[in-house]
Amino acid sequence: MEAESPEKKIEEDSQEELKEHPGERDKEADNEESEIPLEKMTKRQLLNRVKEVQKTADKNFDLYVRSQAEIDNLKKRFQRDKAELYKFSNESLIKNLLSVGDNLEKAIAHSENDNSLDALREGVELTLKGLMDTLEREGLESVKALDEPFDPNFHEAVSELKDNSVKPGTVIQELQKGYILNQRLIRPAMVIVSKKDE
């Protein structure tokens, strides 16, 4: 009996495997089809390749559509959260100012029952102090103006008056207070500034 050559033995073994696992032949054929240049493919191989590419394209398009929907949902949620935050951003300030309103109502009620102007004045002063304390807690501070050198970054001069008792360019009168909120000027102080007597 003649001994089998090693090449023949390998070929027979692979044929046996294909008989035992027929699906393997299709996988191998698919792998071979993807390695074959398009020009050399048969119609069947081209059709399989087109189906494969179409399947991948459909899967990618589905992922794209889902991603776009997720992005749109995130944008809507962000806009909703932003609107909600803006709507209630000054809630703590409003709560603190309610006590100022309560004190003003008490002062008005007290002034109707009592003719004492001193008591009314004291009540209004306390209310004003409460208001300013509340605003300071929120980051508000007043601009220093009176007896300060005029600074166009913080002061708005409405007029000049001759005054030799102070250096020219000094704020001698404050008509309206200026305010800074968290290091940003929100209203300059309206002032009258001294000038030289000529």
Question: For the purposes of burial, counting CB atoms within 10 Å of the CB of 41, is it exposed (0-12), middle (13-18) or buried (19 or more)?
Answer: middle
Domain count along the chain: 3
Does the pTM of the predicted model rise above 0.95? no
SS3 50: helix
Asked if the structure places residue 173 within a domain, the reply is yes
Domain interval for residue 114: 90-138
Asked if the structure places residue 85 within a domain, the reply is no
Q: Looking at the structure, do residues 19 and 59 belong to the same domain, yes or no?
A: yes
Strand partners, 179: 142, 187
Instruction: Write out the chain's pLDDT in tens, 198 residues.
Output: 455 655 555 456 545 554 554 544 445 455 555 577 777 778 888 888 899 999 999 999 999 999 999 999 999 999 999 988 888 887 777 787 888 888 888 777 777 766 677 777 888 888 888 888 988 988 899 999 999 999 999 999 999 999 888 899 999 999 999 999 989 999 999 999 998 876
